[in-house]
Chains A and B, each alone.
Chain A
Amino acid sequence: MKGLILGAGIGSRLLPLTNEIPALMVPILNKPLVLYILEHLKRFEINEVKISLHHLPEVVDSYLGDGEEFDIKISYSLEKELLETGHSIKRIPSYFDDTILIHYGNVLTNIDLNDFLYFHKQRKSIFSYVVIENRIVKNINEISIDEKSQIIDYKFRATDSQYQFIPAGIFLAEKEILDHISLNKNFSLEEDLLRIICDNKLPAFAYIHKGDYYKIQYPKDLLEMNIQILKMLALAEGRLIFGNKIGIHKEVLNSILYPVFVGENSVIHKKVVVKGPTVIGDDVIIDEGATISNSLIINNTYLGKNLEIENSIVYKNLCINTKSDYSIYVTDSFILAPIVKIKLSDKIKEILFRLIDIALSLIGLILLLPIMLLISLAIKLDSKGPVIYKSKRTQKPQLVDQGDKWYRYEPEKVVYYYKFRTMKVDGIGKNDLKSKNIYTDGPYFKIKDDPRITKVGKFLRKTSLDELPLLFNVLKGDLSLVGVWGLPPEEAVSLMETGGTKGFYQLKDVAQLRFKGKLGLAGYWQSRGRSELSAEERSIHDAIQALASIKDEKLRAKLGAYSRVNSLRGYLSLILETIKSVIKRKGAY
Chain B
Amino acid sequence: MNFIEQKVGDVLVVGINLARATLQEADSFKQLLYNAMDKGERKIVVDFSQCDFVDSTFLGALVVSLKRMTQAGGDIKLVGFRPAVRSMMELTRMHKVFDCYESVQDAVKSFS
Binding site for B on A (CB under 8 A): 69, 501, 503-504, 506-507, 509-510, 513, 524, 528, 533-534, 536-538, 540-541, 543-544, 547, 555, 558-562
Contact status of A506 and B97, CB under 8 A, knowing A544-B92, A561-B53: yes
State whether the Cβ of B84 lies closer than 8 Å to any Cβ in chain A: yes
Which residues from A are CB-within-8-Å of B23?
A: 528
A-B contact pairs, 27 of them (CB 8 A): A503-B67, A506-B96, A507-B63, A509-B93, A509-B97, A510-B92, A510-B93, A528-B23, A528-B57, A534-B64, A536-B60, A536-B63, A536-B64, A537-B63, A537-B64, A540-B92, A541-B57, A541-B60, A543-B92, A544-B92, A555-B91, A558-B84, A558-B88, A560-B84, A561-B53, A562-B55, A562-B56
A560 (CB) vs chain B CBs: closest residue: B84
B70-112 interface code vs A (CB 8 A; 1 in, 0 out): 1100000000000010011001111011000000000000000
Contact status of A513 and B64, CB under 8 A, knowing A524-B56, A544-B56, A561-B53: no
The smallest C-beta distance from B63 to any residue of chain A, in angstroms, reads: 4
Which residues from A are CB-within-8-Å of B84?
A: 558, 560
The smallest C-beta distance from A573 to any residue of chain B, in angstroms, reads: 15
Tell which of A506, A528, A541 has the most Cβ of chain B within 10 Å: A506
A524 CA / B22 CA spacing, docked (Å): 13
State whether the Cβ of B18 lies closer than 8 Å to any Cβ in chain A: no
Which residues from A are CB-within-8-Å of B93?
A: 509-510, 513, 543
Q: Are B57 and A537 in contact (CB-based, < 8 A)?
A: yes
Q: Are B60 and A540 in contact (CB-based, < 8 A)?
A: yes
Contact status of A507 and B92, CB under 8 A, knowing A537-B63, A561-B53: no
Binding site for A on B (CB under 8 A): 23, 53, 55-57, 59-61, 63-64, 66-67, 70-71, 84, 87-88, 91-94, 96-97
Known: A509-B97, A533-B60. 16 other contacts (CB 8 A): A504-B67, A510-B94, A510-B96, A536-B63, A537-B57, A537-B60, A537-B63, A540-B59, A540-B60, A541-B56, A543-B56, A544-B92, A547-B91, A558-B84, A558-B91, A561-B53
The smallest C-beta distance from A278 to any residue of chain B, in angstroms, reads: 29
A513 CA / B90 CA spacing, docked (Å): 12
Which residues from A are CB-within-8-Å of B56?
A: 524, 540-541, 543-544, 562
Which residues from B are CB-within-8-Å of A509?
A: 93, 96-97
A561 CA / B94 CA spacing, docked (Å): 18
Contact status of A503 and B71, CB under 8 A, knowing A559-B91, A561-B53: yes
Which residues from A are CB-within-8-Å of B60?
A: 533-534, 536-538, 540-541
The smallest C-beta distance from B55 to any residue of chain A, in angstroms, reads: 8
Which residues from A are CB-within-8-Å of B55?
A: 561-562
A507 CA / B60 CA spacing, docked (Å): 11
Which residues from A are CB-within-8-Å of B87?
A: 69, 558
Which residues from A are CB-within-8-Å of B70?
A: 504
Q: Are A510 and B97 in contact (CB-based, < 8 A)?
A: yes
Q: Are A507 and B64 in contact (CB-based, < 8 A)?
A: no
Tell which of A510, A534, A540 has the most Cβ of chain B within 10 Å: A540
A558 CA / B85 CA spacing, docked (Å): 9
A510 CA / B60 CA spacing, docked (Å): 11
A509 CA / B96 CA spacing, docked (Å): 8
The smallest C-beta distance from A549 to any residue of chain B, in angstroms, reads: 13
Which residues from B are CB-within-8-Å of A536?
A: 60, 63-64, 67
A304 CA / B60 CA spacing, docked (Å): 52
The smallest C-beta distance from B30 to any residue of chain A, in angstroms, reads: 10
The smallest C-beta distance from B65 to any residue of chain A, in angstroms, reads: 10
Q: Are B53 and A560 in contact (CB-based, < 8 A)?
A: yes
Q: Are B92 and A547 in contact (CB-based, < 8 A)?
A: yes
Which residues from A are CB-within-8-Å of B91?
A: 547, 555, 558-559
The smallest C-beta distance from B84 to any residue of chain A, in angstroms, reads: 6
The smallest C-beta distance from A173 to any residue of chain B, in angstroms, reads: 32
B52 (CB) vs chain A CBs: closest residue: A560
Which residues from B are CB-within-8-Å of A543?
A: 56, 92-93
A510 CA / B57 CA spacing, docked (Å): 14
B23 (CB) vs chain A CBs: closest residue: A528
A326 CA / B91 CA spacing, docked (Å): 47
Tell which of A69, A537, A541, A561 has the most Cβ of chain B within 10 Å: A537
Q: Are B97 and A537 in contact (CB-based, < 8 A)?
A: no
The smallest C-beta distance from A297 to any residue of chain B, in angstroms, reads: 28
A166 CA / B3 CA spacing, docked (Å): 57
B57 (CB) vs chain A CBs: closest residue: A528
The smallest C-beta distance from A348 to any residue of chain B, in angstroms, reads: 26
The smallest C-beta distance from A542 to any residue of chain B, in angstroms, reads: 9
Contact status of A540 and B53, CB under 8 A, knowing A510-B94, A547-B91, A558-B87: no
Which residues from B are CB-within-8-Å of A558?
A: 84, 87-88, 91
The smallest C-beta distance from B57 to any residue of chain A, in angstroms, reads: 7
Cross-chain contact of B61 among A501, A537, A555 (Cβ < 8 A): A537
Which residues from A are CB-within-8-Å of B71?
A: 503
A555 (CB) vs chain B CBs: closest residue: B91
The smallest C-beta distance from A280 to any residue of chain B, in angstroms, reads: 25
A524 CA / B56 CA spacing, docked (Å): 9
A543 CA / B60 CA spacing, docked (Å): 11
A276 CA / B23 CA spacing, docked (Å): 45
A543 CA / B84 CA spacing, docked (Å): 17
